[in-house]
A and B are shown apart, each in its own frame.
Chain A
């Protein structure tokens, strides 16, 4: 074979090899881990170690969930429309997880004046028996929501004696197994996608 032809064939082989290597390395699961999240802070944010209360007066801290992912939802139990819809969505996503033992779902009430931890436990377990409901001192709740970009307002009632309205961000906050804020999802925006993103995480 002529030297030209040999180097031509080598060149062709090199190109072919490069193409194959590129194709194999083409990102399938190499995308960011939460493609359907609306926010993924880079780098992941630390979350203050606050103590809240769960049913039976037991203290609850996010450190208890270390080693697991946590899905947090901030709301209140006297919410007839937004919170129930979000909890329905969370239950559906949680049930679609292939490895639900890796995720803790925690409902945090921003309305401790009306929602006791015992009532919250009854509220959340209606949506799924594994769910936890917690609340705590105003200062603890405020310290927790701040780095997560969650807002809430306890409003004045229209008339004295009326139930007071509460507004709050309608968002699912994901903490990673190291307890850092990793992602935010919108409940019900794309049903099934939160579970799908989690099912695609390496076990």
Chain B
């Protein structure tokens, strides 16, 4: 009797579990891919990700069939130089927001199979491990178009020329 109940419960859980894991507890805002010179082997992408759950989630991997590899990086300033440091993952505490933006944390999309152009939309799979994988589309923008504000405000859709934390040298 107990074994039967257990089997039924497990069976039910297996039916329900994939449905729960399919949607990670995140919302996306202000995502964009920076249009790069057609010969570029690396392309930058940015997005704001909010963790809507009550526990920490970890962005472990980002993937796209159009790029051989996607790495997560943080731009830093040290002794008057700017550089990038690869990070293994981005941890987002419960209810908090991760901002990937110019001059800060960003995605480095490597070895494109074709050059992305302004107006294209790039689907990226965001892998949050046990919290699931979500696919989200990011528009490709060049400096010549209007692009979403680099700032985190979800309501700012005006044209911004703010390049984030670049070079506060003085």
Contact = CB atoms under 8 A, between A and B. Distances in A.
Contact of B75 (A82, A91, A152, A187): A82
A158 B87 CA distance: 10
A123 B39 contact: yes
A50 to B, nearest CB: 21
B59 interface: no
A178 B82 CA distance: 30
Contacts of A124: 37
A68 interface: no
B106 A151 contact: no
B31 interface: no
Contact of B83 (A77, A86, A119, A165): A165
Interface stretch (B20-28, B41-49, B124-132): B41-49
A123 B167 contact: no
A113 B79 CA distance: 24
Nearest to A122: B39
Interface string B75-90: 1101111111110000
A104 interface: no
B83 A168 contact: yes
Given A80-B36, A123-B37, A188-B163, A169 B82 contact: yes
Max count, chain A CB within 10 A of own CB: residue among B38, B78, B169: B169
A80 B36 CA distance: 8
A47 interface: no
A80 B112 CA distance: 12
Best-surrounded residue of B103, B108, B163 (most CB of chain A within 10 A): B163
B148 interface: no
Contacts of A51: none
B161 interface: yes
Contacts of B103: 81-82, 85
A151 B75 contact: no
Contacts of B83: 153, 155, 165-168
A112 to B, nearest CB: 16
Interface string A145-175: 0000101110100100001011111110000
B133 interface: no
A19 interface: no
A168 B40 contact: no
Given A186-B169, A188-B163, A165 B85 contact: yes
Contacts of A149: 80
B108 A80 contact: yes
Interface string A84-119: 111011011000000000000000000000000001
Contacts of A85: 34, 102-103, 163, 166
B170 interface: yes
Interface of B: 34, 36-44, 73, 75-76, 78-86, 102-103, 106, 108-110, 143, 161-163, 166-170
Interface of A: 38, 77-82, 84-86, 88-89, 91-92, 119, 122-124, 126-127, 149, 151-153, 155, 158, 163, 165-171, 186-189, 191
16 contacts: A77-B39, A77-B41, A78-B42, A80-B34, A80-B36, A80-B109, A122-B37, A123-B37, A123-B39, A152-B81, A158-B86, A165-B84, A167-B76, A169-B81, A169-B82, A188-B161
